[in-house]
Amino acid sequence: MGGVHPHDNKLSADSAIEQFPIMDRVYISMSQHLGSPAQPVVQKGDYVKTGQLIATASGFISANIHSSVSGVVVSVEPYKDISGNTVTHIVIDVQGDEWESSIDRSEELKREINLTPAEIIKRIGDCGVVGLGGASFPTHVKLSPPPGKTAEFLIINGAECEPYITSDYRLMVESPEEILIGTKVMMKALGVKKAYIGIEENKPLAIEKLKSFNYPDIEIVTLAKKYPQGGEKQLIKAITSREVPSMGLPIDAGVVVQNCGTAFAVYEAVQKNKPLFENVVTITGDCTQQQRNFRIRVGTPIEKILDQVGRLPKDAAKLISGGPMMGKAVSNISASTVKSTSSLLVLTEQQTKRQPEGECIRCAKCVQVCPMGLEPYLLNKLARLGRNEDLESERVYDCIECGSCMFTCPANIALLDYIRMAKADVLKIMRSRPKK
């Protein structure tokens, strides 16, 4: 249902993943995941190795954080993140690149899975793996379904439906078997018999590579190219024809969805004992001199990354972390990357300039494209009037904030801005009610 077809602009698709040089100083955020921030366990002056635990998970939904470099901790202080909000960061001055000895740095593929499901989940938690699809949900929590609910399928999301981003694509092309082994590991942890890897039809090379290996219980599914094909609920519908109930989680439909980048991180964590401290980032944009894919250590300042691909062009107006549809504009370029940074996208003023809002002409384009079957024009109107009860009965809480309505609106109405605000308000009201 629904969806839009923005031009996919995969400019960096043919550029192989390169190792990004390690900077002199890294700033590692304590809030790189959904849930409560991690608790630092190192102090100023401590020497840390690459891959050493520097902050532990605090609470059930939280994740460990490991040092991405070796060197001396300079300070543990609040710094601003990409949106200007202050988060505690561990600042490390880099000295060489000495890895933790427990990490297997050999090139060789490790195919057999020796650990038990409980051990796998513990290892994933210890290595601080989080969902690399954008929401950064701690993976070990997602792999432990709540009591009474069981998973039947595992779906690996290789759709990468956002325009411009190619980090998942390059990973699928360059490390297909690692992703497949990572999938097997997660299947064992969940105890499921069947897994699917969903890939959009505009990535034939990735599909071919993944299909060339013999993993009979992992099926590679070719998906139609549209946005948001990689949304969790849309992917489940496209592959299994099941629908996630309103206000429910994928596990309610018997499915667990993980990103293919996460599958790779799980492979490295479980088979190679390597914590998640580096990830693939696409640096792209029509106006940048180069469009490339880098494997970047977590905590590298964004401005240093931009320097590497040549100076920013004069007409660059907006920098986005993530894709153009759902990514977040970067207001502070001295902020550093986090585990789930998938792309840094530079857009020109012409591409990003908001057009003046017109009047709604009731063309119902937004209704057609909404992947959740909502009526964005109506939600927008109700949100502007603050009618929270009506918004609730119109299921504003089902909005996945994909922005398709705003993308398609011929009157340039800021639909999502108001709907997102109303969704937050309505969810707050709903949560404050006493539970039955």
Partner 1 sequence: MGTTLIFTIVVLTGLGVFLAVVLFIIAKKFNVQEDPRIDLVEAIMPGANCGGCGYAGCRAFAEACVKAGSLEGKFCPVGGNDVMMQVGEKLGVAVEQKAPMVAVVRCHGTCDNRPRTNFYDGTSSCKIMNSLYSGDTDCRFGCLGGGDCEKVCPFDAIKINPRTGLPEVDQDKCTACGACVRACPKNIIELRNKGPKNRRVYVSCMNKDKGVVAKKACSVACIGCRKCEKVCPFGAIKVEDNLSYIDFNKCKLCRKCIDECPTKAIWSVNFPVRVPKPQEVADEVSQVIEKEQ
Q: Which region, left, alpha or beta, applies to residue 408 given φ > 0 means left and ψ of -120 to 50 means alpha?
A: alpha
Q: What residues form DSSP beta bridges with 198?
A: 157, 221
Q: Is 331 in the site for partner 1 (CB under 8 A)?
A: yes
Q: Which of 5, 47, 59, 84 binds partner 1 (CB under 8 A)?
A: 84
Site residues (CB under 8 A) for partner 1, limited to 64-83? 80, 83
- CA 87 to chain centroid, in Å, comes to 19
Whose tokens are 């949560």? That residue is 431
Which window, 22-30, 125-133, 229-237, 328-336, contacts partner 1 (CB under 8 A)?
A: 328-336
Q: Is 420 in the site for partner 1 (CB under 8 A)?
A: yes
User: Rounded distance, CA 357 to CA 380, Å?
Assistant: 13
Q: Is 414 in the site for partner 1 (CB under 8 A)?
A: yes
Q: Which of 164, 169, 227, 418 binds partner 1 (CB under 8 A)?
A: 418
- The least distance separating partner 1 from the CB of residue 74, rounded to whole angstroms, comes to 17
Q: Name which of 140 and 423 has its Cβ closer to partner 1.
A: 423
Q: Which of 240, 332, 348, 388 binds partner 1 (CB under 8 A)?
A: 332
Which among 308, 296, 294, 249 is positioned nearest to 61, based on CA atoms?
Answer: 249
Q: Which of 5, 44, 193, 353 binds partner 1 (CB under 8 A)?
A: 353
Strand ordering across the sheet containing 86-94: 25-29, 86-94, 71-80, 47-48
Which among 61, 64, 5, 69 is positioned nearest to 36, based on CA atoms?
Answer: 61
Amino acid at 98: E
Q: Hey, CA dihedral for 139, 188, 196, 283, is it positive or negative?
A: positive
Which among 167, 170, 191, 171 is positioned nearest to 180, based on CA atoms?
Answer: 171
Q: Is 59 in the site for partner 1 (CB under 8 A)?
A: no
Q: Is 86 in the site for partner 1 (CB under 8 A)?
A: yes
Q: Name which of 82 and 171 has its Cβ closer to partner 1.
A: 82
- The least distance separating partner 1 from the CB of residue 82, rounded to whole angstroms, comes to 8
- The least distance separating partner 1 from the CB of residue 11, rounded to whole angstroms, comes to 24
DSSP string, 19-34: EPPPPSEEEEES--SS
Which window, 127-135, 137-145, 329-337, 360-368, contacts partner 1 (CB under 8 A)?
A: 329-337
The answer to whether 254 and 30 have CB atoms below 8 angstroms apart is: no
- The least distance separating partner 1 from the CB of residue 130, rounded to whole angstroms, comes to 22
Both tokens of 306, joined, read: 């931009």
- The least distance separating partner 1 from the CB of residue 26, rounded to whole angstroms, comes to 21
Both tokens of 293, joined, read: 């894919």
- The least distance separating partner 1 from the CB of residue 317, rounded to whole angstroms, comes to 8
Q: Name which of 226 and 423 has its Cβ closer to partner 1.
A: 423
DSSP state of 401: -
Amino acid at 217: D
The size of the interface with partner 1 (CB under 8 A), counted in residues, is 18
The answer to whether 394 and 380 have CB atoms below 8 angstroms apart is: no
Q: Which of 19, 43, 85, 393 binds partner 1 (CB under 8 A)?
A: 85
Which among 386, 380, 375, 392 is positioned nearest to 430, based on CA atoms?
Answer: 392
Q: Which of 106, 147, 241, 354 binds partner 1 (CB under 8 A)?
A: 354
- The least distance separating partner 1 from the CB of residue 421, rounded to whole angstroms, comes to 5
Which window, 5-13, 43-51, 153-161, 410-418, contacts partner 1 (CB under 8 A)?
A: 410-418
Instruction: Note the residues at the interface with partner 1 (CB under 8 A).
Output: 80, 83-86, 328-329, 331-332, 352-354, 414, 417-418, 420-421, 424
